[in-house]
C-alpha cells in the first residue's frame, strides 16, 4: 500500500474551523483557501434560522440524490444545469442525480406527502449542499450550500414582496446591505412567454449570422436564454431585442406593479432589468436577483421568483408558488468583510500541583456541573504553569480558571481575567457562576 495522501475533489472544498492560507498553486486554483471558517457559517446560519422562524417558515430536509427525471422535468432539458452540470449516474435501472438545486425536490416532496393538497398554503425552507459541475473559481464551487425558501398557495405578489423584505432584513442584520442591489423582472405567464418567444425567434433569426454557436442552438429550443448570454459580441444585438416586459398581459402587468408598489412602500430600492431570464425553466411572472460587485463575475448572491406552473407540471394540483435560494459561500464572502466573528470560549481550565493535576477531569466536571453551559477548554498535554497560561491566552478565552492544591482543599477556584485589567480572585465553586458569560 502506498502512503500517498488523498485530497478533496476539485471544487468541493472542506469547510475548516479557521481560514487557511493557500499554500500551493493548486490550493489557490481550487479556491478552498477562500472559504470562510465554519465559525462564520454558524454565525450566519443562526441569523438565517431566527429570520425564517420569524416569518413562519418550517424546515424541510430532502435527500441529496433524486431521480434524474425530476430535474429534467423541472429545471428543464435545455438548460446549462441539466445539459452540462449535473452529477448523474445509473444504479440498477434508475438514473440518479445529485441535486443541483432545491426547489424541484421541495415540490416533489410536497406533492408526494400531500403538503399542498387543495391549494393549502405551505411555507418551507431548507439549507444544504447542492452540486453543479461548473468550473470552480471564487464564489463558484461544484458543491455549494444554498438556503432555499419556498411559499406555496399564494397567487398575489404580496408573497413575492414579503420574501424580498425578509432578505433585505437579513442583509441589514449581517451589515452587508451596502454590498447588495436588487434587480427585478417579470417573465409573464407561460402563454405570454410563448407569444413573446415567437417574436424573439423572428428577431434573432433575422440576425442569424451574428449569433454564436450556443445561441444558434438555443434559437429554437430556449431562445430566452440567448438574452442571458455573456458573449460581449452579442450584447448590442441583445440590447435591441424586443423585451418580454412589453408583451405582458394586463394581469401580469398588475401583478408586477403591485409587487413594485409594495417594495416602494417599504423603501426597498430596485432596478428593473429586462435581461433577467434565469437559468432554470420553471419561472413565471416575478423573477429577481440580489447582485454584488464584490465577488468578481459571480455576482448573484441570492435569486428566485415565482413558479406558478411547476407543481402542476410535476403532477400535483395547480398551485401558485414563489421562492428563492441564496448561495451561502457567496454570502459569507461578503459577511467576512464586515463581521469579525471569533471563537468565544468563556474559560480555559488549568491545574497546578500533583493532586489537582491528577484530578483534572473530575474538577473540570465539577465546574461544568456548577456553571451550566460554560464554554470551557481543559488544558491537555502538561507543561509548566507559564506554558499553560500562554495556551489559555491563545485560546481566546475570557478567563483562565486555575485549581492548585490550595483551591482543591478549600473547594475554590482562582480566576485570572485574560481580557481585562483586573486582579486575580479566588472564589467558591458556587460563586464561580457569577463570573461566567458576564
56/123 Cα distance (integer angstroms)? 7
- Hey, which residues between 146 and 185 contact ligand HAM (CB under 6 A)? 146, 148, 150
- Looking at the Cβ atoms of 66 and 407, the one nearer to ligand HAM is 66
- Looking at the Cβ atoms of 100 and 403, the one nearer to ligand HAM is 100
Closest CA to 321 of 140, 135, 61, 111: 111
9 contacts 28 by C-beta, under 8 angstroms: no
Instruction: Compute the Cα dihedral for 49, 289, 123, 117 and give only its sign.
Output: negative
Rama region for 58: left / alpha / beta (φ>0; ψ in -120 to 50; rest):
beta
Question: H/E element holding 305?
Answer: strand 300-306
- Looking at the Cβ atoms of 278 and 379, the one nearer to ligand HAM is 278
Binding segment for ligand HAM (CB under 6 A), chosen from 64-72, 101-109, 311-319, 339-347, is 101-109
Q: How many chain residues are in contact with ligand HAM, going by CB under 6 A?
A: 27
User: Please, what is the minimum distance in Å from the beta carbon of residue 372 to ligand HAM?
Assistant: 39
User: Please, what is the minimum distance in Å from the beta carbon of residue 166 to ligand HAM?
Assistant: 13
Q: How many CA atoms lie within 13 A of 56 on its CB side?
A: 7
- Looking at the Cβ atoms of 34 and 140, the one nearer to ligand HAM is 140
User: Please, what is the minimum distance in Å from the beta carbon of residue 374 to ligand HAM?
Assistant: 37
Q: How many CA atoms lie within 13 A of 211 on its CB side?
A: 20
Question: H/E element holding 426?
Answer: strand 425-428
262 contacts 157 by C-beta, under 8 angstroms: yes
- Looking at the Cβ atoms of 52 and 403, the one nearer to ligand HAM is 52
User: Please, what is the minimum distance in Å from the beta carbon of residue 150 to ligand HAM?
Assistant: 5
Binding segment for ligand HAM (CB under 6 A), chosen from 100-108, 121-129, 155-163, 402-410, is 100-108
Question: Which residue number has the CB closest to ligand HAM?
Answer: 327
Q: Is 300 in the site for ligand HAM (CB under 6 A)?
A: yes
Q: Which three cell numbers stand for residue 93?
A: 435501472
Site string for ligand HAM, 341-380 (x = CB under 6 A): ----------------------------------------
- Hey, which residues between 109 and 148 contact ligand HAM (CB under 6 A)? 132, 134, 140-141, 144, 146, 148
Residue 227 main-chain phi, psi, to 5 deg: -65, -25
* 306 exposure class (CB count in 10 Å sphere: 0-12, 13-18, 19+): buried
Contact footprint for ligand HAM (CB under 6 A)? 101-103, 132, 134, 140-141, 144, 146, 148, 150, 279-280, 300-305, 307, 323-327, 329-330
Amino acid at each position: 500500500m502506498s502512503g500517498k495522501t488523498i485530497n478533496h475533489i476539485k471544487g468541493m472544498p472542506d469547510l475548516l474551523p479557521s481560514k487557511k492560507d493557500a499554500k500551493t498553486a493548486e490550493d489557490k486554483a481550487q479556491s478552498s483557501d477562500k472559504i470562510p471558517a465554519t465559525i462564520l457559517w454558524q454565525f450566519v446560519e443562526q441569523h438565517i434560522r431566527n429570520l425564517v422562524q420569524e416569518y413562519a417558515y418550517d424546515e424541510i430536509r430532502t435527500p441529496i440524490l433524486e431521480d434524474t427525471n425530476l430535474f429534467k422535468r423541472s429545471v428543464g432539458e435545455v438548460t446549462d444545469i441539466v445539459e452540462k452540470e449535473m452529477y448523474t449516474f445509473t444504479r440498477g435501472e434508475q438514473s440518479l442525480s445529485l441535486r443541483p438545486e432545491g426547489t424541484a425536490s421541495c415540490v416533489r416532496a410536497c406533492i408526494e406527502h400531500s403538503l399542498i393538497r387543495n391549494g393549502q398554503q405551505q411555507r418551507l425552507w431548507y439549507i444544504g449542499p447542492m452540486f453543479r459541475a461548473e468550473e470552480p473559481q471564487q464564489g463558484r464551487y461544484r458543491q455549494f450550500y444554498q438556503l432555499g425558501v419556498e411559499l406555496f398557495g399564494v397567487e398575489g405578489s404580496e408573497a413575492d414582496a414579503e420574501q424580498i423584505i425578509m432578505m433585505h432584513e437579513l442583509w441589514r442584520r449581517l451589515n452587508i446591505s451596502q454590498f447588495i442591489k436588487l434587480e427585478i423582472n417579470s417573465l409573464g405567464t407561460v402563454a405570454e412567454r410563448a407569444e413573446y418567444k415567437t417574436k424573439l425567434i423572428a428577431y434573432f433569426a433575422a440576425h442569424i449570422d451574428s449569433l454564436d454557436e450556443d445561441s444558434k442552438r438555443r434559437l429554437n429550443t430556449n431562445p430566452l436564454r440567448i438574452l442571458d448570454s455573456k458573449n460581449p459580441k452579442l450584447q448590442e444585438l441583445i440590447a435591441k431585442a424586443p423585451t418580454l416586459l412589453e408583451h405582458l398581459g394586463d394581469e401580469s402587468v398588475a401583478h408586477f406593479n403591485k409587487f413594485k408598489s409594495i417594495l416602494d412602500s417599504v423603501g426597498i430600492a430596485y432596478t428593473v432589468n429586462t435581461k433577467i431570464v434565469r437559468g432554470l425553466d420553471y419561472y413565471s411572472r416575478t423573477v429577481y436577483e440580489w447582485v454584488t460587485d464584490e465577488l468578481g463575475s459571480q455576482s448573484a448572491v441570492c435569486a428566485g421568483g415565482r413558479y406558478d406552473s411547476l407543481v402542476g407540471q410535476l403532477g400535483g394540483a395547480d398551485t401558485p408558488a414563489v421562492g428563492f435560494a441564496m448561495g451561502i459561500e457567496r454570502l459569507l464572502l461578503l459577511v467576512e468583510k464586515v463581521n469579525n466573528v471569533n471563537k468565544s470560549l468563556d474559560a480555559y481550565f488549568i491545574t497546578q500541583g500533583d493532586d489537582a493535576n491528577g484530578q483534572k477531569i473530575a474538577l473540570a466536571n465539577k465546574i461544568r456541573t456548577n456553571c451550566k453551559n460554560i464554554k470551557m477548554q481543559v488544558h491537555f498535554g502538561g507543561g509548566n504553569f507559564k506554558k499553560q497560561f500562554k495556551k489559555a491566552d491563545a485560546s481566546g478565552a475570557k478567563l483562565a480558571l486555575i485549581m492548585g492544591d490550595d483551591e482543591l482543599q478549600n473547594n475554590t477556584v482562582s480566576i485570572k481575567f485574560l481580557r481585562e485589567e483586573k486582579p486575580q480572585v479566588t472564589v467558591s465553586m458556587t460563586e464561580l457562576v457569577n463570573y461566567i458569560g458576564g
